[in-house]
Amino acid sequence: MDVVAVLGLGAMGGRMAARLLKAGYRLQVWNRTPGAAADLVASGATLAASPRAAAAGAAFVIAMLRDDEASRRVWLDPMDGALAGLEPQAVAIESSTLSLDWIHQLGHAAQERGVRLVEAPVAGTRPQVEAGQLIYLVGGTTADWARAEPVLKCLGSAIHLVGPIGSGALAKLCVNTLLGVQVTALAELVGILKRSGVNVEQTMKVVAATPVWSPVAARSIDSMLAGNFATQFPVELAEKDFGYVLAAAGSPAAAPTIAAAHNVFRNAQAKGLQHLNLTGVVQLFL
């Protein structure tokens, strides 16, 4: 089996690495805090001292990182960046949720170095990665997508080629923006119903029987009514993604509804809710 490197072993990256290891890939891993790799190393993975060292000899290098800054450092650090460690036929797979501007910069940097880059952000959180049910939103060439597909199939149940580099980032930001806007509207409605003395649970059951309801609305309202904000997708990352999509829009005036939802998440961070699941923004309206 090929050698695969995974850079970033957080909530998603660590689970991706575990699935790849179970699938039989030889695994090289790196994380900013090495302790996160302990279980993987015990299962047979090799811990590298830097992203560049992890990429050395790997056929595929997957990054799952927090934001643009982390991605830039991991791929392009002058001393330890992963791009410099890639073999000529290797494929760089960037699965982080990033801004359109940065993924274009990374694409240009990869092209200058003769590196194949596939952007492959995902729809899904921890349960989906554990079950191999992620949905991939791929940007890149058809040839590079085909080359990466066998590895991605270990982690996802659907792999969609959206278009050239940048298309995947925008598709993922669309997904997260729709999620965040729905959660914001539901949180505000819960507050309105409670202040009006209406039975929130019963009212939402009725609303759920109409065509406007969605699966994510069902999960979100259950979380809000139960007060269960165990983190799947935290407030702080949702706020970050709203900022990225507004940057792509050009200005808040070009996307006023998104800008308004962004402000809700910024307020939630200011109130100390940043580590809660994004449905925790309901606390602003109770």
Model pLDDT for residues 42-77, shown as the tens digit of each residue: 999 999 999 999 999 999 999 999 999 999 999 999
Closest by CA position to 179, among listed 104, 113, 232:
232
Name the domain count of the chain: 2
232 CB contacts (<8 Å, ≥6 apart)?
Answer: 125, 126, 127, 277
pLDDT > 90? residue 110: yes
What CATH number does the domain containing 244 carry? 1.10.1040.10
Choose one of 130, 163, 196: the last residue of a domain: 163
Same domain, 127 and 143: yes
Same domain, 185 and 259: yes
Per-residue pLDDT, averaged over 11-37, amounts to 97
pLDDT band at 195 (very low <50, low <70, confident <90, very high): very high
Rounded CA-CA distance 92/107 in Å is 10
pLDDT band at 254 (very low <50, low <70, confident <90, very high): very high
Rounded CA-CA distance 280/234 in Å is 9
Same domain, 204 and 102: no
pLDDT > 90? residue 220: yes
pLDDT > 90? residue 208: yes
Q: Which domain holds residue 135?
A: 3-163
Same domain, 65 and 91: yes
Same domain, 26 and 155: yes
Same domain, 23 and 132: yes
Proportion of the chain above pLDDT 70, given as a percent: 100
Residue 214 per-residue DSSP state:
-
Same domain, 143 and 56: yes
Choose one of 163, 194, 219: the last residue of a domain: 163
Q: What's the pLDDT score for residue 161?
A: 97
Which of 22, 172, 240, 271 is catalytic? The answer is: 172
pTM to 2 decimal places: 0.95
Same domain, 17 and 155: yes
Catalytic, 271? Answer no
Q: At what angle do helices 100-112 and 68-76 cross, to 10 degrees?
A: 10
What CATH number does the domain containing 20 carry? 3.40.50.720
Same domain, 72 and 180: no
Rounded CA-CA distance 243/10 in Å is 22
Mean pLDDT of the chain: 97
Rounded CA-CA distance 218/286 in Å is 19
Choose one of 113, 133, 163: the last residue of a domain: 163
- Total length of the chain: 286
Residue with tokens 């998603």: 12
Same domain, 94 and 198: no
Rounded CA-CA distance 144/133 in Å is 21
Same domain, 245 and 198: yes
Q: What's the pLDDT score for residue 191?
A: 98
Same domain, 103 and 187: no
* pLDDT tens-place string over residues 123-177: 999 999 999 999 999 999 999 999 999 999 999 999 999 999 999 999 999 999 9
Q: What's the pLDDT score for residue 1?
A: 84
